[in-house]
Amino acid sequence: MLGAIAGDIIGSRFEWNPTKTTDFELFHSDCRFTDDSVLTLAVADHIFLGSDLIDTFKEYFNQYPNAGYGERFMQWASSPSREPYNSFGNGSAMRVSPVGFAFDSLDTVLEKARATAEVTHDHPEGVKGAQATAAAIFLARTGNSKQEIKRFIETQFQYDLNQSIDALRPQYTFDVTCQGSVPQAITAFLESENFEDAVRKAVSLGGDSDTQACIAGGIAHAFYGKLPDIISAEVHSRLEVPLRQILTLFCDRFSCR
């Protein structure tokens, strides 16, 4: 999960100023946590404390109202509504990484990923994006090879993971849908040599950079293991204290440092 938040922070400065290269300063003074990190930690809070997920999302939104949420989520979170709004945006995938780290069977991971998505993103593509991301994280942390992860995601979710990042990059544009951003983020992980490389490749697509780096970073963390100390320290220094506390509690319990 720490890797997902690192990806969000690293990618944040490119969300509205995209880059098409992997050669950039990893942690710039403009890097910050966004709604990706806030809602990821809300899911972690929900899992760790057993809190009601809808209430938790709304509470975190109210605590961090300027983190950069999508318009439809903001409308939902600031309203009394407890009903989903049929979204297939990649918000369901960006926040799901704690599920992949917390549960010990693939069936449970898929069930819990669906549950975290459906409170807002109940469109089939919104659910699929969350499930594919969580499944990739679970498979990565339980010793599966990249080829095995790729095969499962392609078979189970019908995502096309055969186009390389170099082939995707020239024509790829900003896309906040699950179907238009999750497969590309998974591909960035599959082609990576290490955690940092996965995040750099995801950002270099020039799309929804913080979210795609968040997704790729979560999977890469699960696959490659403990993050470099310098990356971990940068993440912690950029989180506000309440967010840092739930991150530490969750990672201590579920060994996702």
Q: Tokens for 200, please give them.
A: 């750099």
DSSP code for 228: P
Closest CA to 18 of 202, 241, 244: 202
Mean pLDDT of 121-144: 98
pLDDT digits (tens, 9 = 90+) for 196-239: 999 999 999 999 999 999 999 999 999 999 999 999 999 999 99
In angstroms, the Cα distances linking 81 to 69, 77, 134, 235, 251 are 17, 8, 27, 33, 31
DSSP code for 142: T
Q: Tokens for 164, please give them.
A: 């390389």
pLDDT at 247: 96
> CA-CA distance, 217 to 60, in Å (whole number)?
22
Residue 177 phi, psi (nearest 5):
-80, 155
The helix/strand/coil state of 2 is: helix
DSSP code for 194: S
Q: Provide Rg for the chain, Cα atoms.
A: 16
Burial of residue 144 (CB within 10 Å: 0-12, 13-18, 19+) is middle
pLDDT at residue 242 tops 90? yes
Find the length of the chain: 257
Domain chopping of the chain, boundaries: 2-16+30-254
CA-angle at 225, arms to 219 and 231, nearest 5°: 85
> CA-CA distance, 31 to 21, in Å (whole number)?
17
Q: CB of 138 within 8 A of CB of 109? A: yes
Single-letter code of the amino acid located at 155: T
Single-letter code of the amino acid located at 212: Q
pLDDT at residue 256 tops 80? no
The helix/strand/coil state of 89 is: strand
* High-pLDDT (> 70) share of the chain, %: 100
In angstroms, the Cα distances linking 165 to 51, 71, 125, 216 are 39, 29, 22, 13
- The mean pLDDT of the chain is 97
pLDDT at residue 145 tops 70? yes
pLDDT digits (tens, 9 = 90+) for 63-120: 999 999 999 999 999 999 999 999 999 999 999 999 999 999 999 999 999 999 999 9
The helix/strand/coil state of 17 is: coil
In angstroms, the Cα distances linking 3 to 76, 118, 187, 216, 228 are 28, 24, 16, 8, 10
pLDDT at residue 255 tops 90? no
Q: Tokens for 58, please give them.
A: 């709304």
> CA-CA distance, 166 to 170, in Å (whole number)?
7
**Chosen CATH of 2-16+30-254 out of 2.60.40.1260, 3.30.70.1290, 1.10.4080.10, 3.40.50.970:** 1.10.4080.10
pLDDT at residue 257 tops 80? no
pLDDT at 124: 98
Single-letter code of the amino acid located at 224: Y
